[in-house]
Structure 1
Amino acid sequence: MRWCDDYVEWYNHIHHHSSLEGFTPEQVFTGQYVDIVQVRQAALDTAFTMHPERFSRGRPLVKLPPREVAINPIPDDAEPSIVDQGVNFPTLQRAILKAI
């Protein structure tokens, strides 16, 4: 049980996921990523201003996490009661990310 607790703590709060564009699940779920995006973008803007020749594709932009992430996405042909719940597993609540 202790190992599981430690692992879940690390996975949700410390590990930066590549599929979430380098953010932690906590940062994405709570909306903290919005402030982090501003800091990252400011750093990229400064680097671009100082050395534009290093950026052959133009001004770099911070990648945002996906708007929706699902392990078991709701299929398009799902029953209306499943769609209304927003999840296909009855004990879970739907989580919607706030847009920047």
Structure 2
Amino acid sequence: MAKNQRERDLALAERRQKAAETELRHRVRPGIKARLADLMAWHGIEEQAEAIQLLIINAHAAGPIGSAPMLAIPRHEFTPSENVARQLYAQGEREAGRLDQQDH
């Protein structure tokens, strides 16, 4: 006799408990989701959970040094033009002058 939905759910919950499975959830913005979709398409992966698990396993296998570039936070370097730098410096000088005047 076939199991009903409740019996299947209970069996699944028991298997997950035996395997010590933990559910991980997080929210992502559209750009991150698009990058994950690209990775999945490039490698023929259809399930997001599978792709994320493979990324974690492979990054870990690369070790601390090998995985470092994969986990580095992208930073944009900002170098203001000379004109903007002068304006920022002048504004800082004005602000510092105001602070000095308030102290006296």
Shorter-chain TM-score range: under 0.3
Structure with the bigger RCO (C-alpha within 8 Å, sep 6+) is: 1
Higher helix residue share? 2
State which structure, 1 or 2, has the greater radius of gyration over its C-alpha atoms. Answer: 2
